[in-house]
Structure 1
Amino acid sequence: MGVTIKEIAVICGVSPGTVDRALNDRPGISEKTKAKIIEVARQLNYQPDYMARSLAKGRTMTIGVVLFDLYNRSFAQLMNSIEAECRRQGYFVDLVLTNKDPDNEKKCIEHLLHRKVDGIIIFAINYGEAFDHYLKSLNVPVVTVCNRVSGDWSYIGIDDRKAMKEAVQYICGKGYERFVYVCPPLSYRGKTNIFTQEERFAGCLEGLKECGIHEPPVIVTDKDYVGAIGRMSFGDGEPRTAIVCSCDIYALEVMNHLKGRGLRIPEDVGLMGFDNIDVLKYVTPALTTVEYDVEQFGLQAVRCAVEQIEQGSAAPVPLLPYRIIAGASI
């Protein structure tokens, strides 16, 4: 049987409450006493009794996370950040993946409720008044990430519309005349929650309008978006064209296709992504993209959830910052 907080308290000549403050990095204790307690705990290989803590607090110390999938590197980065911050705050993570299926999303939420999670962080697929009422019926704290459900829920995100508008204005400043916008999720408009993608598309249109580009962009929503790009002509004799992708993952596939055709980037065709996923450091030419701190998304989502769990409410989280990364592809 492992050593307990009470036993560490006796050895150190302090109260169990003081040991608890030291081990959980809480205020109200001197650095000298804290260092002594931590060293004794280390020597005795102290391991927290999470079951006892859960029973004492009336919580499972678990936060459920509902994501699309982990194919997109930005989701994988987000999940790593969520898990790290949960662990730092003494919570475990129960992850479920919806595969972008609205019915499966509700099944995933029900699974988390049966597991008695203390709160839920969700990148929602469902939307609308009925789903809003459904979330309210759960009686657990909910934090939404990227895809907004309604103003009744804590929301973590950036101003996607403004970010994409500024990205398009940046491209226009480079003298591009024709635009192709690649966003397969737009084919789900009116069917599922694609709030983030709709905002980015709206920003693209606003940016073009403000730059005086009257020709509408070619909008690619095909699942086989690379095939659609393959039927287009670029380079000699064609207007100077920029392909704007709503996510980096699409831009990387398009870049690979363009290179396979022997097209030069950006001489024959410009290319822009969005997200600045971590694998871009291996890509040539360096992709011009929009960056936001995905780790902050995870950190703020967890902090917001924990505040609601432990205090009953949470302060609104401001929209997070972003910036354009000027690569060599535009």
Structure 2
Amino acid sequence: MKVTIKDIATICGVSAGTVDRALNNRTGISEKTKKKILEVAKEMNYQPDYTARSLVMGKTMTIGVILFDLHNRSFAQLLNAIELKARQLGYFVNITLSDKKPESEIDCINYLVNGKVDGIILFTVNKGEQFESYLSKFDIPIITIFNYISEKWEYIGIRERQAMKDAIDYIVSQGYQKFIYISPPLAYLGKSNIYTQEERLNGFYEGLKRNRIHSKPVIIKSSEYIKELENLTFSKNEKAAIVCSTDLYALKVMHYLKKQGVSIPEQVGVMGFDDIDILEYVTPRLTTVKYPIEEIGRRAIESIVNKIDHGDFVPTPLLDYEIIKGESI
């Protein structure tokens, strides 16, 4: 038979309320009593009845998370940070993936809402008045990360445009005058919410203008960006910089250049964006923008849990970033 709080209370000679306080680490109980209750619960292999608990508390202690996919290593880092912080605060995480499809994202939201999650952390591909009206009908807190929707929705991110401008400043300071920009998500421009990628592209252009780079850059928006690179020639006389909107693209570009015998950074410099954790195993060390991916995850959980438990989001200013000066530029 399933062990209940009442069973533990009977054995320990205390009330069910005292057992509940011990199991949920609440105040109003001595350390001696708490220790005894926890030991008995462990010996009896007590498992909480989350369904009953949710009925009593009016919440499921679950946070829904909607991401694109897990192909980008930074998303895995983000989820790990979210899950760890949620667990520390007593919440579970329900993960769904939209595959970057607006209609799939709507399905994910409906699934999580119907599953009675207490709040949603959303990396959206949707935007516009109709989408905002749709979100507004749900009586649960929603916090957005990366892709901004509007000032109506709590948002956690960085100054994407400024980060890319600073990256261009650094590249120009290293003597590069010819630029290639790679960002396949730009193919969705005007079709879905690609706020982060738009901001990075704008920062790229503004960085070139600020540094008086007058040569026209090559902009590659295709998922077949390696094939497009095959049409370009590189020489030591005119150092070219390939700026990628994520580290994942940058790593594939570096792999291609090495296969072609193109020296990095002597002939071609490569810049990434994110500073994913596997870069420490890559040679030459990729120059990139350090994105505070794990801090974003932790802040998102802290803010939304505070909203659930106390009624207000934790105000979160745009977070800091850092130019990581590797060996590829």
TM over 0.5: yes
Residues in 2 aligned to 1:146 and 1:312: alpha-carbon distance in whole angstroms: 23
Deviations 1:10-62 (A, max 9, x none): 55565544543443344555555544443443333332221121110122222
SS of the residue aligned with 1:76? helix
Q: Normalising to structure 1: TM-score of the pair?
A: 0.92
Residues in 2 aligned to 1:6 and 1:270: alpha-carbon distance in whole angstroms: 67
SS of the residue aligned with 1:299? helix
CA RMSD between the two structures: 2.0
Which residue of 2 is the match for residue 245 of structure 1?
244
Residues in 1 aligned to 2:257 and 2:11: alpha-carbon distance in whole angstroms: 68
Residues in 2 aligned to 1:160 and 1:283: alpha-carbon distance in whole angstroms: 25
Runs of 4+ in 1 over 6 A off after TM superposition: none
Which residue of 2 is the match for residue 81 of structure 1?
81
Residues in 2 aligned to 1:37 and 1:164: alpha-carbon distance in whole angstroms: 55
| Matches for 1:1-330 after TM superposition, within 5 Å | 1-9=1-9, 11-12=11-12, 16-27=16-27, 34-237=34-237, 239-330=238-329
Query: Per the alignment, do residues 210 and 35 of structure 1 end up closer, same or farther by CA in structure 2, a change over 3 Å counting?
Result: farther
Equivalent AA in structure 2 for residue 312 of structure 1: G
Equivalent AA in structure 2 for residue 253 of structure 1: K
Q: Extract unaligned runs of 5+ from structure 2.
A: none
Residues in 1 aligned to 2:231 and 2:86: alpha-carbon distance in whole angstroms: 47
Query: Per the alignment, do residues 32 and 203 of structure 1 end up closer, same or farther by CA in structure 2, a change over 3 Å counting?
Result: farther
The answer (yes or no) to whether the contact 2:236–2:266 under 8 Å persists in 1 is no
Query: Per the alignment, do residues 82 and 260 of structure 1 end up closer, same or farther by CA in structure 2, a change over 3 Å counting?
Result: same
Size of the aligned set, in residue pairs, is 329
Residues in 2 aligned to 1:160 and 1:245: alpha-carbon distance in whole angstroms: 14
Deviation at 1:163, TM superposition (A): 1.2
Deviations 1:146-169 (A, max 9, x none): 001111111111111111111111
Q: Extract unaligned runs of 5+ from structure 1.
A: none
Residues in 2 aligned to 1:22 and 1:251: alpha-carbon distance in whole angstroms: 51
Q: Normalising to structure 2: TM-score of the pair?
A: 0.92
Equivalent AA in structure 2 for residue 179 of structure 1: F
Equivalent AA in structure 1 for residue 317 of structure 2: P
Deviation at 1:291, TM superposition (A): 1.2
- Say which is worse superposed, 210-219 or 31-40, in terms of deviation: 31-40
Q: Percent identity?
A: 56
Residues in 2 aligned to 1:203 and 1:27: alpha-carbon distance in whole angstroms: 51
Residues in 2 aligned to 1:37 and 1:293: alpha-carbon distance in whole angstroms: 40
